[in-house]
Amino acid sequence: MEIEFWWLLALPLFFALGWLAARIDIRQVVQESRALPRSYLAGLNFLLNEQPDKAIDAFIEAVRIDPQTVELHFALGSLFRRRGETDRAIRLHQLLVDRDDLNEDQRLQALGELGQDFLKAGLLDRAETVFLKLRDTRANDVALRYLLEIYQQEKDWAKAIEIARALPDHEEAMWRKEVASFHCELATTALADSRFPDVRRHIDEALAINRSCVRASLIEGDLYAAQGRDEDALEAWKRIESQDPVYLSLAAERVMDAYGRLGRVEQGHMLLRSWLDRHASLDLLDELFQWEIEKLGPKAAYDLVREELRRNPTLLGLDKLLEAALLAAPAEQRGDIELVKQLIHGHTRKVARYRCESCGFKARQFHWHCPACGGWETYPPRRTEEFDLEP
């Protein structure tokens, strides 16, 4: 293979061009480093030496000397907020807000960062004031999302609904389940105060936004029951099966009470048995178990749980079976059954909790609003053992 002579001449030229480009880059870096304020370099030194207070003072001085270091302020403030040092973040962002030489975009960004600082620090009223200033600006959409979070924390459901309605169309659709839950919160308060027209209005709003809102159906049934309209209440609670059968256990006690007032207890019992046959649920089984022990005796409750255990073997179901067996057993056998029950019960405590489908938070009590991640209807009335048994 022959090598053309002109390639040999080109190689030194390429090396020369590379050396020249490197010299230009190094010269530019040196010029930029000399242009940086000394306080900026001092601030970095303090930060590396774990002296954050002195670093902040140095960076503030750097911003005063050179407005081009504003981005440094934003980065440092966000870092402090993520670390939980909200007082330092507020101090940095407040300085930016008070400056007169920022352009509009920088000022809006500074206000938004300051609002997030107040929100992280739990200063909800100050955060609300900041985000209200951002309404009808280029940061309007961001302000709406944070205001929605603030009003949920304050449980100001009317304002939360108002803000949700102001969201852009593509975001408003994402919040339908939450807005329906806001109306349910207002309906619950109105029902406690016997303001029945307000209850009716909020239920209708919730179902118009989210036809699958189980809580609205539960409250509607409660409204009818409070008005003495048990037949209508039963129809509202039966609707839950078509919305989300996981929540049927929440209506079980209500259904039995309504049928009891109507004098048709057996019909209510058969309805709950049919629900359990179609939708296995430990909470629904527990409701039926307690009712059968009180009304039909331990033998009927034992047969109920034994049949369910054959279909869905669970430790919680076994605990119920031993409870019924203990009540029905002769006195000389109760000691052994009690011993086994205590051993089983010790294990059931770990699997008897509810779990959020969004963040995995576990608790003994059912919540419509997850205490950990703030999700709505992400905390179904299903025990953790039921999640673990799913394929």
Residue with tokens 């809102």: 213
Q: What is the CATH number of the domain that holds 228?
A: 1.25.40.10
pLDDT in tens, 240-284: 999 999 999 999 999 999 999 999 999 999 999 999 889 888 888
3-state SS string for 296-334? CCHHHHHHHHHHHHHHCCCHHHHHHHHHHHHHHCCHHHH
- Rounded distance between C-alpha atoms, residue 24 and residue 265, angstroms: 91
Residues 163 and 151: beta-carbon distance below 8 Å:
yes
Specify if 24 maps to a domain: no
- 342 and 375 share one domain: no
- Provide the domain limits for residue 175: 157-272
pLDDT in tens, 213-249: 999 999 999 999 999 999 999 999 999 999 999 999 9
- 161 and 262 share one domain: yes
Specify if 26 maps to a domain: no
- 327 and 361 share one domain: no
- 203 and 306 share one domain: no
Specify if 362 maps to a domain: yes
Tokens of 6: 């002109």
- 48 and 149 share one domain: yes
- 324 and 338 share one domain: yes
Specify if 316 maps to a domain: yes
Q: Report the predicted TM-score, pTM, of the whole model to 2 decimal places.
A: 0.75
Q: What per-residue confidence (pLDDT) applies to 324?
A: 74
Q: Is 213 annotated as a binding residue?
A: no
- Give the mean pLDDT of 73-98: 80
DSSP symbol at 85: -
3-state class (DSSP) for residue 369: strand
- 96 and 195 share one domain: no
> Structurally, how many domains does the chain consist of?
4
- 340 and 374 share one domain: no
Task: Write the CB contacts of 375 (distance below 8 Å, at least 6 apart in sequence).
Answer: 356, 357, 358, 359, 369
- 124 and 172 share one domain: no
Q: Looking at 212, 239, 272, which one is the last position of a domain?
A: 272
Burial of 192 (0-12, 13-18, 19+ CB in 10 A): exposed
Specify if 20 maps to a domain: no
pLDDT in tens, 139-170: 888 899 899 999 999 999 999 999 988 887 65
- 51 and 146 share one domain: yes
- Rounded distance between C-alpha atoms, residue 320 and residue 347, angstroms: 13
Specify if 52 maps to a domain: yes
- 72 and 147 share one domain: yes
Q: Is 184 annotated as a binding residue?
A: no
Q: Looking at 154, 171, 197, which one is the last position of a domain?
A: 154
**Residue 28: pLDDT band with limits 50, 70, 90:** very low
Q: Looking at 272, 288, 315, which one is the last position of a domain?
A: 272
